[in-house]
Amino acid sequence: MPDYHDDLRLAQVLADAADAATMERFKALDLEVETKPDMTPVTEADKSAEELIRSQLQRARPRDAVLGEEFGSEGSGPRRWIIDPIDGTKNYVRGVPVWATLIALMERGEGGDRPVVGLVSAPALNRRWWAAEGLGAYTGRSLTTASRLQASRVSRIEDASFAYSSLTGWEERGKLPGFLDLSRDCWRTRAYGDFWPYMMVAEGTVDICAEPELSLWDMAACAVIVQEAGGRFTGLDGRPGPHSGNAAASNGLLHEDLLAYLGDSRG
């Protein structure tokens, strides 16, 4: 099995640089905000954080490809870094501390590309999570001061805590009835949003979460962290990994139940 320790250490260095850049402009009164063609906001901090990460990757891993939310794809090859400089830009713009930099490394194998390293850094929450294939998932402020993550053992929907982002996407997808059924049947629902529900699944504080529309950079880092914590991460079609344009994550024990409510096979 490949050793991803060096890549994990590099991801920590990249996150440190991004955290410094994003925190410097968080709640700045003169923060520059633009609207992208898809009608989502982008700030100067999104762009500067991604530029920082790309420049460091160019020096440290010049042969690796890069895909980022703000500046697209660059390079080719079997290894590709996936960057979301600020996941939760709307929160960032409004001064809500729930946002994070997502960094993942994907590697090509017989079954296609898969995420093998993932890091989620939420500096305004003073939290960081990371994982690498075969090495487990952890949370802490550094590689040397970390706690291992473990998904929950809740095995019944009526005992489960369900996290989500919003209702509108489920309605547009025609899945609102299943979403409402799940909300009624489970123990607790909360709309934490963005990266956070997946990290809670990995921590075992939430049991299931799902989103109806996502990009690769929203999911790649989260997928490997959930999986290395003992959970499952698939699309709503049940396809493993971050490849379906949407996500279902669970502690593993509840995954088939989750897909029965929200999956693409549901009528």
Q: What is the pLDDT of residue 3?
A: 86
Q: What pLDDT sits at residue 265?
A: 66
If you average pLDDT over residues 190-214, what whole number do you get? 96
CA 251 to chain centre: 16
Q: Report pLDDT digits (tens) over 73-104.
A: 999 889 999 999 999 999 999 999 999 999 99
pLDDT at 229 over 90: yes
Average the pLDDT over 178-199 and give the result.
95
Q: Is the pLDDT of residue 266 over 60?
A: no
Q: Residue 112: what pLDDT?
A: 83
pLDDT tens-digit profile of 146-163?
999 999 999 999 999 999
Local structure of 98: helix, strand or coil: coil
Give the Cα separation of 41 and 201 in Å (integer): 27
The C-alpha atoms of residue 68 and residue 59 are separated, in whole angstroms, by 17
| Cα separation, 220 vs 69, whole angstroms | 12
Task: Please give the model's pTM, rounded to 2 decimal places.
Answer: 0.94
User: Is 166 within 8 Å of 191 (Cβ atoms)?
Assistant: yes
What would the mean pLDDT of 129-141 be, rounded to a whole number? 95
Average pLDDT, the chain: 93
| Arithmetic mean of pLDDT, 48-70 | 95
